[in-house]
Structure 1
Amino acid sequence: MTYIGIYNFVWVQSYEAVVYGLGTIVAIILLYSAYVGYKRWTYGNEKIKWPSLSYIIRNFIKYVIFQWKILRKRFPGTMHALIFYGIGWLAVTTTLRAINAHIVVFLTGDTFYIYKLLANIAGIIAIVGIIIAIIRRSLKLTKNLPQDPYYYLVLGMLLVILITGFLVDGIAAVAYRYTWESYWFDPIGYLVFLWSRTVPISELEVIYRGLWLFHMSLAMLAMALIPYTNLWHIYPAAVNVSLQREGNIPDGIKPVVDIDEKIEKGKPIGIVKLSDTSWKQRIDYDACTSCMRCTNACPANISGKILSPRDVVINMNNMIHKGMWDENVIGNKVIQVNPEAIWSCVTCGACVYECPVTIHHLDTIIDLRRGMISTSSQDIPEDALNALYRLQQNGNPMGMNPVDKEQWFNELAQKFGDEIIAKEGEEYDYLYWVGCVTSFDPRIRPVAESVIKILKDAGYKVAIPVEQGCCGEPARSIGDEALYVEYIKMNLEMLNKYKFKKLLLNCPHGFNNFKNNYKKYKSYLLKDESTKGYVDLLEKLEVEHHSVVLSKLVMEGKIKPNKELRYVLTYHDPCYLGRWNGIYNEPREVINKVNGLRIKEMPRNRENSFCCGGGGGQLFYEIKRGQRISTMRAEEASKTLGDSDNKVVAVACPFCNTMFRGESGKFGFNVKDIAEILNESLDNK
């Protein structure tokens, strides 16, 4: 009976030792490169903080095996999947063949047929993926893709390896498969076999040996070059997604828990020199694939600013690979990071959300801002410094007189009763943190008044603490970490005096701050006896945004809109409510319950929403380059609303409210918070 299975080293038996020798050299190169990479990540004897094994495995399966984030972009994701799964399976087949040759023979009979068929499919889809990649890059079907020749060299090498692999396999069929009549399991090899069997064996052996040597040498060379080409991302990217920061993407900006020690020793806070980066940030930089998803989603870049999140990461990576550990990261050299780029960021999180290998660009950008603030850099925008000064002096970044807020609180007490002002000893369903922008802007105060009225009508006990000021988020976004931690302690001390079930906010920035950011400072608070007790408060603190509360009320029928509002309306997703906290449905549930509204979605909505331009502290300062981000978003809203009368842009954020109001006159729409819209739809008689 004819043997059906793998034959090893047909016609090239004498080269077997060469293969294993080269394979050993390649393995040494790859292992050494991995070791060097690890040493870069742990420079300065920094220790990697390993999460649980189950966390690592879960992330590896989700992000590497199933390509979860890569496939979110259909065209490039499919292209990458074809290459990844194709070449990945061919690597598996090579491993299986080695096991079959040296450990146990199992690739025979039907198993061999399946093995060959899957290898054919893998090779075909990999070739298709590579051809698509070449066309995509050369025709610039994805914006901003680098056009460096080595990208094409790598793709070309992979293509040649795959094609020569099919040729070698088909010619080998003459040597040990010529009696088989059916080649359904090896369709590509069979096509080559049909030609090769017409060539005299003596000539075919010479052709085969030369082609086999070329294929084998090129494959070995490609593997040896992995650390020096964009294929290197395979290793650090897999590590990066497996060890990614815990929390919802794009959550995860690291706190500075040793800030007191740094201040005491006169050390800078954040990143000044390259050596100030953390092990996780360095893996971030090494993992970048230059896919450009971050830059193509960046509102600052799209509006004409010089910020490219990818370039920030690549510059950091280039400095690390050159060993520039004692060099300042910010500067005007080509390899350094341009400070204007860092101050152009609106911290919308689009870059982090889009990155297929879970790089946290904002982690680095905020750290670079911290570094500039802590060293009094000349590169800080003057308006940003003024906002910090006003925050220190007046308790709010706008520089408004605190007396104005107190007067408004008195007006609220007259309107809703004295019980609206929080008192120690009383217990409340909701303690309402109004926030600084809402407190001082007369055109946004009605948002808070609408929230209070709706909650009281629904039977909830709600109160406002009069001592409240800014949550500190502007200080953190601009990079004044020392001021930020003072606000954390001050605000937690104030909250600790009151009894309440939930903390309510109508500002997504404050909401994210209390819900996520403050809780990252638990270890810092535990260091001091005077702040240890605040950790218990943080542990039990429940924080809700007003859109979620209002949604519950209308969905449960506790609040029933009964007036028709004749608006053409589009809703803008705030970055810190949507992308940072995954709240998309609740605001829409509120406006969908209001009768008479004609609701239209902007092209960029939900996860793909485009920033209003007010994040990252830029409600208080502006980088005057290119178009205003708010203008671009307002224009999109205007086009969505069309030429109708009574057009409304619905928002759920005071920052967005402010930015859109600044553009409303130009584009002819009104700006209303969802709370105002809901309150307007109620019979208030």
Structure 2
Amino acid sequence: MVPTAHFPGNIIFYLIFLGGLGVFSYLIYTRIRLLLFTQKEDRLSQIGERIKSILVFVFGQRRLLNEPFPGVIHLLIFYGFIAFSLGTITIIGEGWYPGFSLPFMDSPLGNIYLLVKDSFALLVIIAIVLAAYRRWIVRPARLEPSLDAALCLLFIFFLMVTDLSIVAGRIGLGTESSGLWTPAALTISQIIAGSGATEAGFRTLYQVGWWGHVLFLLSFLIYLPLSKHFHVITAIPNVFLRYLGPRGALTKLNLEDESAETFGVCKVEEFTWKQCFDFYTCTECGRCSDNCPAYRSDKPLHPKMMTVNLRHHLLDKAPFLLSKNSNTAVTDSGNGQEWNGAAMVGAVVGDDELWACTTCRNCEEQCPVFIEYVQRIVDMRRYLVLMESRFPAELTATFKNMENQSNPWGLGYTNRADWAEGLNIKLMPEVGEADILYYVGCAGSYDDRNKKVTLSLVNILKSLGIDFAILGIEEKCCGDAARRIGNEYLFQTLAQENIEVLKNYKFKKILTACPHCYNTLKNEYPQFGGNFQVVHHSEFLIDLLDKGMLKPARSFDMTITYHDSCYLGRYNDIYDAQRRILSAIPGVKLVEMERNKARSICCGAGGGRMWMEEHLGKRINVMRTEEALKVNPNTIGTACPYCLTMLEDGLKAKDMEEAVKTMDLAELLNNAL
């Protein structure tokens, strides 16, 4: 009965199967070989944590289920494929050996499997219809109704239909069980029988279903590496290989490498193999762009399309790369030929795209397959800054100010501790030791509005008799903005100078009110030997509240919405401390914005954007302010000096600065004591 039991069916099957598998294998081989021309990167540490990632994010579909409707659709298709796989193995096995059957199929377990597979075939068909309805009727902005998407849905649809046809045909021919364990296929068989189908009709149904299944399966396999649905193959390894280091740490450039011809990335083969593997894995779901503040404010940056364009560029350049004699050389000459295609930086990825990024990590937080964007963008920025000096003109002054005065404003470094005059605050250069080293940061030292936050925090520390000191004029900019803009040389200079100073003194913890300083000191200074215990003031203050050392007594009639800082939240998972602090203040009513915590929208200052003009699209800080005003607060709470500045500017732009105030947690708590 199996179509390959006799000649010529068996020969046709062998040719089709081996030919299809050969083409698929060749496509996979070329994709893997391309990665050999890229840069090395170790992604095989912490195996236990990687296995856990597979369980939670692949089999648990955690990120996909953050959006229930599309998440459930994908869940059904995903588990349908798993249930369907054993049946497909049986069909292929029959092609080679008529009568082939998996060992457990004649047991009760086999009956349960048949029921599961039959049920999922029907559920997947329903899911495909819903997915098509969503993409072509509902049409969310982030999903384009492409031919690629249509073909992939049709492949999956017909794989399920042909599977049901095979079983229904067997039931009609009496070679399958009564259909008790395959109710969907049984129903199809009964409908066909009721229409007067003969044995020949059921045989035709079976054979068409069998050959159709094999052809659709092999065609789909060949199509996968050529389409966005390559993630069917690459998603699981990409999740397994995800970055497990500190999310706030960018890679360290070896600026003393005398063999380096360039710094940063300007050619696709200068990315690491994992970065290029990300290009293969993108599902084009659009969650990255949907949550990108730059894209949402009509800037040129479109994270999804950046990844798609880089994938196309890599594949366009494949013949050139694969023609090289060496699998390790990274050069633009292959077999004596120069690459004459589009330049990656400037053409494939435009300058304005790169400078629009706020490095907020919302794209990475929402991506279901853990594609990494920020490092990639900073790599290209590094090339523009270090190799071509091609960056927004206003950054020239910013770099000069950091180099000469160690702060982005360019105010005198000797005035860094002026805010502390007359407050009897210990200076570390004078005392040499303290329990807490308060790293004030540039904003807290120089910006008049943020000096109020500094004074509030100092007042809390002094009221409790906490032993703390500041570095005074020995404190320098932490270098966060310089690194994210791409000036790695300037960042490393500042970092090494700060670390040298910090190592001169004894302290238990570094305390800072700036999430950017916090992230840099905690996650990036260890790359240069600066291993310190660093706490953000929100962590420090909630600890004081929990210990009963702080007891807010004054009550306020205040409705507060809290804005999550990207570098405190998505970078360092600090979300609850700030809300617990606000809830501890009598009379405070906390109301959440629609996008909060991990989905919070950036204020617009990150990634060095604080020091760049915003010429294109809408102002991100105004957009975030509008989101805050929707919940009718009289106060917007923050825990970041840059967020504070940006949101206050947003309120001014909306003529709401009198009705609504922006305040830091330290100010709010200090006022309540």
Counterpart of 2:291 (choices 294, 297, 300) is: 297
**Cross-structure match for 2:2:** 9
Contact 1:82-1:129 at 8 Å conserved across structures: yes
1:82 matched to 2:76:
yes
SS in 2 for 1:671: strand
1:184 matched to 2:190:
no
Counterpart of 1:429 (choices 423, 435, 442) is: 435
Cα deviation per residue 1:628-661 (whole Å; 9 max; x = unaligned)?
A: 000111112122125xxxx211110000111112
**Cross-structure match for 1:64:** 58
Q: Which amino acid aligns with 2:309?
A: N
Aligned mates of 1:59, 1:664 — CA distance in 2: 41
Q: For residue 11 of structure 1, report the CA deviation from its aligned partner.
A: 9.0
**Cross-structure match for 1:659:** 646
Q: For residue 109 of structure 1, report the CA deviation from its aligned partner.
A: 4.6
Contact 1:93-1:115 at 8 Å conserved across structures: no
SS in 1 for 2:593: coil
**Cross-structure match for 2:546:** 555
**Cross-structure match for 1:155:** 153
**Cross-structure match for 1:110:** 108
Q: Following superposition of structure 1 onto structure 2, how do residues 228-267 of structure 1 map, counting pairs within 5 Å? A: 228-247=226-245, 250-251=247-248, 253-256=250-253, 258-261=254-257, 264-265=258-259, 267=261
**Cross-structure match for 1:306:** 300
Q: Does the C-alpha gap of structure 1 residues 173 and 551 become closer, same or farther in structure 2, counting only changes over 3 Å?
A: same
Q: For residue 103 of structure 1, report the CA deviation from its aligned partner.
A: 7.6
Q: How many residues align?
A: 641
Contact 2:282-2:371 at 8 Å conserved across structures: yes
**Cross-structure match for 1:3:** none
Aligned mates of 1:104, 1:161 — CA distance in 2: 20
**Cross-structure match for 1:602:** 593
Aligned mates of 1:179, 1:424 — CA distance in 2: 89
Q: Which amino acid aligns with 1:220?
A: L
**What is the RMSD of the two structures over their aligned residues, measured on CA atoms?**
2.3
Aligned mates of 2:263, 2:102 — CA distance in 1: 58
SS in 2 for 1:221: helix
Counterpart of 2:669 (choices 667, 671, 678) is: 678
Q: For residue 314 of structure 1, report the CA deviation from its aligned partner.
A: 1.4
**Cross-structure match for 1:626:** 617
Taking structure 1 as the reference length, the TM-score comes to 0.89
**Cross-structure match for 2:567:** 576
Q: Which amino acid aligns with 1:305?
A: K
Segment of structure 1 superposing worse, 460-469 or 213-222: 213-222
Contact 1:446-1:676 at 8 Å conserved across structures: yes
Contact 2:460-2:670 at 8 Å conserved across structures: yes
Aligned mates of 1:123, 1:168 — CA distance in 2: 12
Contact 1:11-1:209 at 8 Å conserved across structures: no
1:404 matched to 2:434:
no
Counterpart of 1:617 (choices 599, 608, 613) is: 608
SS in 2 for 1:373: helix
Q: Which amino acid aligns with 1:503?
A: I
**Cross-structure match for 1:464:** 470
1:224 matched to 2:222:
yes
Aligned mates of 1:392, 1:61 — CA distance in 2: 47
Aligned mates of 1:292, 1:154 — CA distance in 2: 17
Aligned mates of 1:106, 1:330 — CA distance in 2: 53
Contact 1:574-1:656 at 8 Å conserved across structures: yes
Q: Does the C-alpha gap of structure 1 residues 46 and 576 become closer, same or farther in structure 2, counting only changes over 3 Å?
A: closer
Cα deviation per residue 1:573-599 (whole Å; 9 max; x = unaligned)?
A: 111101111111101111111112232
SS in 2 for 1:67: coil
**Cross-structure match for 1:511:** 518
Cα deviation per residue 1:561-614 (whole Å; 9 max; x = unaligned)?
A: 111123222111111101111111101111111112232211111111111111
Aligned mates of 1:607, 1:386 — CA distance in 2: 33
SS in 2 for 1:569: strand
Q: For residue 21 of structure 1, report the CA deviation from its aligned partner.
A: 4.2
Aligned mates of 2:378, 2:91 — CA distance in 1: 50
SS in 2 for 1:662: helix
Aligned mates of 2:213, 2:552 — CA distance in 1: 72
SS in 2 for 1:428: coil
Q: Which amino acid aligns with 1:301?
A: Y
Q: For residue 52 of structure 1, report the CA deviation from its aligned partner.
A: 4.9
Q: Report runs of 4+ in structure 1 exceeding 6 Å deviation.
A: 97-100
Segment of structure 1 superposing worse, 272-281 or 662-671: 662-671
Aligned mates of 1:656, 1:13 — CA distance in 2: 74
Cα deviation per residue 1:197-228 (whole Å; 9 max; x = unaligned)?
A: 44222344344433432333222212222211
Q: For residue 358 of structure 1, report the CA deviation from its aligned partner.
A: 0.6
Q: Which runs of 5+ in 2 are unaligned?
A: 322-331, 333-338
Counterpart of 2:375 (choices 347, 357, 363) is: 363
Aligned mates of 2:39, 2:669 — CA distance in 1: 56
SS in 1 for 2:478: coil
Aligned mates of 1:423, 1:303 — CA distance in 2: 46
Q: Which amino acid aligns with 2:378?
A: I
Q: For residue 22 of structure 1, report the CA deviation from its aligned partner.
A: 2.9
SS in 2 for 1:575: coil
SS in 2 for 1:568: strand
Cα deviation per residue 1:492-537 (whole Å; 9 max; x = unaligned)?
A: 0010011010111100011011111222x2xxx4xxxxxxxxx2x5
Counterpart of 2:385 (choices 369, 373, 378) is: 373
1:392 matched to 2:403:
yes
**Cross-structure match for 2:483:** 476
